[in-house]
């Protein structure tokens, strides 16, 4: 009989199916969304999840750590399970925060191989879990997966209508690069916000996908110190989507992709001038373009094969002992964020008494801190309790 796993996702998202699909091949897998707990406070959510774990004899819990500011070290510690796993996706500016949260877990799973190395640098047992889109995930459990992927790519040999495709959010930096491509004579189709099926059709009709890897924020937010850098180079899923659909990808540099792909699989650029040069070279040479497309597709199929990707993760989960990383202390900035996360759940004037009782949790997480930290966090927590109770009550009446 398979062991039972509970995956606690932040909220419904198209990528979640890829994760549940991976785990379902090895475990009896259930999942829930933190976003569905709309009328519960921190303690009530913890109790509901622990009751579910007990009633269904769940042994392993996977925590989707990321942009939702709720799943922290103290939340994970209160969840009752034999094994705990932190799963991160966009880790690029949350690394310092996640590296503390991971201390409550036995393993860390990252979507970016560079993030995996950063967790290993701290001493954690970390692995890269390659997320597949639900369109791909829906076939990944089938016996003849390669044949199914070929069906997805059945139109690859037909005449391509689009020379170069970019899809994704528009930022000033991205606009600057894409406008330059058009100025230099590249026939570019630039789309965002399309329904998935329409996007897949465009990908299949394209010769090349351009991947832009700089982070979309105007500054790299750093919880541990001042904001210093404007952007990071991030590992993006466009490369995988290109390979799954048998289309070549020309990508802006990121350290994550450098760890996975060579120049014969994903041609890489740093500047818009280098991008134009690569695109023109490939568009003039159909044989070379086909080589890059085939090389990328083969590599993506290899990376996402369960034997090579998830089986090492499964073996690590099943180990009886896991390394533990010792924390010298929990820094003030992390305690401050956690205190706010704990308090700002279902906060209204009608729940003020219940919210005040949550202060007991705040006292417990700061008990080993010095007096100044205790004073600052308790003071801010009291102010937040009163202020946000009024604000959230007013907002709910609009």
DSSP string, 82-108: SEEEEEESS-TTTHHHHHHHGGG-SEE
Q: How confident is the model at residue 89 (pLDDT cuts 50, 70, 90)?
A: confident
Strands 188-191 and 162-167: parallel
Q: How confident is the model at residue 394 (pLDDT cuts 50, 70, 90)?
A: low
Instruction: Look at residue 144 and tell me whether its pLDDT is greater than 60.
Output: no
Higher pLDDT, 353 or 170: 170
Average pLDDT rounded to a whole number, residues 354-379? 89
Q: For the chain, what is the mean pLDDT?
A: 86
Instruction: Output the pTM of the full model.
Output: 0.85
The CATH H-level (homologous superfamily) assignment of domain 145-303 is Glycogen Phosphorylase B; (3.40.50.2000)
Q: What is the pLDDT of residue 67?
A: 62
For the stretch 175-213, pLDDT in tens is: 999 999 999 999 999 999 888 888 888 999 999 999 999
Q: Could you give the CA distance from residue 100 to residue 72 in angstroms, rounded to a whole number?
A: 8
The mean per-residue pLDDT over the stretch 300-327 comes to 89
* Cα dihedral sign, 14-15-20-22: positive
The pLDDT confidence band at residue 160, using thresholds 50, 70 and 90, is: confident
Residue 242 burial (10 A CB sphere; 0-12, 13-18, 19+): buried
- Quick one: pLDDT band at residue 80, thresholds 50, 70, 90? very high
Q: CATH says 4-134+307-318 is which class? A: alpha beta
Residue 22 has pLDDT above 80, yes or no: yes
**Closest by Cα among 287, 295, 205, 215 to 250:** 295
Least confident stretch, 109-123, 145-159, 189-203, 305-319: 145-159
Task: Report pLDDT for 147.
Answer: 43
Strands 126-128, 162-167: parallel, antiparallel or unpaired by DSSP?
unpaired
Domain ranges for the chain, please list them.
4-134+307-318, 145-303, 332-396
pLDDT, residue 135, reads 44
Half-sphere exposure in the Cβ direction for 162 (13 Å, CA) = 22
- Highest mean pLDDT out of 13-22, 250-259, 305-314: 250-259
Residues whose CB is less than 8 angstroms from the CB of residue 311 and which lie 6 or more positions away in sequence, other chains included: none
Residue 79's Cα: distance from chain center in Å? 22
Examine the pLDDT at 133 and tell me if it is beyond 90: no
Say yes or no: do domains 4-134+307-318 and 145-303 share a fold: yes
pLDDT at position 14 is: 75
Which of 50-54, 62-66, 217-221, 292-296 has the weakest average pLDDT? 217-221
Q: State the pLDDT confidence band at 50, using cuts at 50, 70 and 90.
A: very high
**pLDDT reported for residue 208:** 96
Whether the per-residue pLDDT at 84 is higher than 60: the answer is: yes
**Per-residue pLDDT at 222:** 63
Per the CB < 8 A criterion, the answer to whether 365 and 60 are in contact is no
Q: What is the pLDDT of residue 69?
A: 65
pLDDT at 145 (0 to 100): 44
The torsion defined by the Cα of 19, 20, 21 and 27, in degrees rounded to 10, comes to 120
**Contact between residue 309 and residue 303 where contact means Cβ atoms under 8 Å apart:** yes
**Structure token digits, residue 389:** 């109770």
Does residue 349 register a pLDDT over 80? no
Distance CA 211, CA 221 (A): 23
Q: Which residue has the higher pLDDT, 220 or 260?
A: 260
- The angle formed by the CA atoms of residues 367, 123 and 79, to the nearest 5 degrees, is 50
Label residue 146 by pLDDT band (50, 70, 90). Answer: very low
């Amino acid at each position: 009989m398979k062991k039972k796993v509970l995956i606690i996702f932040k909220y419904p998202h198209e990528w979640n199916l890829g994760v549940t699909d991976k785990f379902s091949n090895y475990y009896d897998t259930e999942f829930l969304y933190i976003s569905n707990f709309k009328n519960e406070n921190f303690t009530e959510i913890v109790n509901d999840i622990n009751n579910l774990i007990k009633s269904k004899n769940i042994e392993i819990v996977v925590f989707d750590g990321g942009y939702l500011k709720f799943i922290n070290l103290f939340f994970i510690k209160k969840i009752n399970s034999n094994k705990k796993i932190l799963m991160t996706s966009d880790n690029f500016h949350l690394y310092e925060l996640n590296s503390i949260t991971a201390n409550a877990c036995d393993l860390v799973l990252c979507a970016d191989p560079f993030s995996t190395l950063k967790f290993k640098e701290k001493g954690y047992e970390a692995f890269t879990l390659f997320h597949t889109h639900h369109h791909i995930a829906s076939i990944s459990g089938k016996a003849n997966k390669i044949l199914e992927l070929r069906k997805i790519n059945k139109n690859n040999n037909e005449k391509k209508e689009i020379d170069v495709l970019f899809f994704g959010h528009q930022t000033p930096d991205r606009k600057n690069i894409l406008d330059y491509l058009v100025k230099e004579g590249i026939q570019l189709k630039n789309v965002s916000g399309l329904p998935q099926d329409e996007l897949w059709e465009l990908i299949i009709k394209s010769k090349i996908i351009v991947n832009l890897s700089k982070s979309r924020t105007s500054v790299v937010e750093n919880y541990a110190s001042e904001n210093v850098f404007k952007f990071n180079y991030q590992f993006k899923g466009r490369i995988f989507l290109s390979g799954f659909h048998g289309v070549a990808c020309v990508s802006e540099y990121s350290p994550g992709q450098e760890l996975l792909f060579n120049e014969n699989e994903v041609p890489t650029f740093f500047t818009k001038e280098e991008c134009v040069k690569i695109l023109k070279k490939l568009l003039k040479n159909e044989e070379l373009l086909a080589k890059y497309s085939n090389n990328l597709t083969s590599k993506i199929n290899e990376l996402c094969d369960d034997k090579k990707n998830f089986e090492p993760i499964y073996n690590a989960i099943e180990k009886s002992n896991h390394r533990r990383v010792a924390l010298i202390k929990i820094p003030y900035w992390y305690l401050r964020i956690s205190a706010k996360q704990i308090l700002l759940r279902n906060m209204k004037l009608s729940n003020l008494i219940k919210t005040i009782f949550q202060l007991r949790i705040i006292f417990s997480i700061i008990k080993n801190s010095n007096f100044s930290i205790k004073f600052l966090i308790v003071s801010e927590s009291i102010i937040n309790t009163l202020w946000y109770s009024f604000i959230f009550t007013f907002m709910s009446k609009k």
